[in-house]
């Protein structure tokens, strides 16, 4: 592996002190190259969410190094990490986290707002992103008027509207039924394959992990296995089902 986009070295994370002390991560080494699709699996309490927070620059390790694009994230201030997030990262959450009573268009424009883009640029980019997740024509619907699967698509559009290097997805299909889950996974796979975006995804469903090209297993704060998936799940349905393509 040449120059890794993400490099964790001896990363530990400790919560609490004294009797209540909890080692969530007990020395993690992980390299992720640009363009990978990594699924992170493991039982609850295994440290996968903690690792995801650190990878997403939302949290800093207690000890160890985290190099992102060659920058030492563990040494960055809160605002510096925020700048790094807005520049390189996109987030997809289990609970969608869309702004209520706010149109899909405005939700997707949000990250661009913090980048200081002009209204015209924001508008065009958001429309493009919504188009690419198959929600062209749904721009003016609010989350309340969209199904769960559609809401997660809006969230994905919001994650990719800034053209990030990495998309971090934390159980993106956790709140969706099987069919919607597969559609979302198709979208993530397409992002990875067609746009070369590195995807890091936490999941506890093997069916979903099967879409990734590499699966990392966490157990008890350590990486138990890290295996490539030579045969990722093939598209079983078109990435964008016909019934959601237009309102």
The residues that touch other proteins, with contacts defined as CB under 8 A, are: 53, 56, 58-59, 78-79, 82-83, 85-87, 89-91, 93, 95, 97, 99, 101-102, 106, 110-111, 113-116, 119, 158
Please state the φ and ψ torsions of residue 72, each to the nearest 5 degrees: -80, 100
Listed in sequence order, the DSSP H helices in 95-241 are: 104-115, 119-132, 148-160, 178-195, 206-209
| Nearer of residues 14 and 86 to other proteins, judged by Cβ | 86
Give least dist CB 175 to other proteins, A.
14
| Nearer of residues 88 and 138 to other proteins, judged by Cβ | 88
| β-strand partners of 168 | 91, 200
Question: 158: which 2 tokens?
Answer: 């919001």
Cβ count within 10 A of residue 39: 25
Sequence-ordered list of residues with C-beta below 8 angstroms from that of 178, at least 6 positions apart, any chain: 207
Beta pairing class for 6-15 and 22-32: antiparallel
| Nearer of residues 58 and 233 to other proteins, judged by Cβ | 58
Give least dist CB 82 to other proteins, A.
5
Give least dist CB 238 to other proteins, A.
29
| Nearer of residues 86 and 128 to other proteins, judged by Cβ | 86
Beta pairing class for 89-92 and 166-170: parallel
Is residue 228 helix, strand or coil? Answer: strand
Give least dist CB 235 to other proteins, A.
29
Cβ atoms of residues 73 and 57 within 8 Å? yes
| Nearer of residues 73 and 240 to other proteins, judged by Cβ | 73
Give least dist CB 110 to other proteins, A.
7
CA 103 → CA 107, 117, 144, 243, distances in Å? 6, 19, 9, 21
**Secondary structure letter of residue 234 according to DSSP:** P
Give least dist CB 228 to other proteins, A.
29
| Nearer of residues 81 and 189 to other proteins, judged by Cβ | 81
Q: How far apart are CA 49 and CA 40, in angstroms?
A: 9
């Amino acid at each position: 592996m040449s120059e890794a986009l993400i490099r964790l070295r001896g990363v530990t994370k400790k919560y609490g002190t004294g009797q209540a002390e909890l080692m969530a991560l007990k020395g993690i080494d992980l390299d992720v190259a640009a363009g990978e699709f990594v699924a992170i699996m493991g039982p609850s309490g295994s440290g996968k969410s903690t690792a995801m927070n650190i990878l997403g620059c939302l949290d800093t390790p207690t000890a160890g190094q985290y190099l992102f694009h060659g920058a030492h994230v563990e040494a960055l201030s809160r605002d510096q990490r925020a700048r790094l997030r807005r520049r390189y990262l996109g987030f997809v959450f289990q609970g969608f986290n869309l702004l209520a009573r706010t149109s899909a268009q405005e939700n997707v424009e949000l990250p661009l707002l913090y980048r200081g883009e002009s209204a015209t640029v924001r508008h065009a980019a958001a429309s493009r992103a919504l188009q690419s997740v198959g929600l062209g024509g749904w721009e003016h619907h609010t989350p309340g008027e969209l199904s769960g699967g559609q809401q997660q698509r809006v969230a994905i559009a919001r994650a990719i509207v800034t053209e990030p290097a990495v998309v971090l997805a934390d159980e993106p299909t956790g709140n969706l039924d099987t069919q919607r889950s597969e559609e979302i996974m198709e979208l993530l796979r397409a992002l990875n394959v067609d746009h070369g975006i590195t995807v890091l995804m936490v999941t506890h469903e093997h069916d979903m992990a099967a879409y990734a090209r590499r699966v990392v297993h966490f157990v008890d704060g350590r990486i138990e296995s890290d295996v490539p998936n030579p045969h990722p799940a093939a598209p079983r349905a078109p990435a964008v089902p016909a019934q959601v393509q237009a309102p």
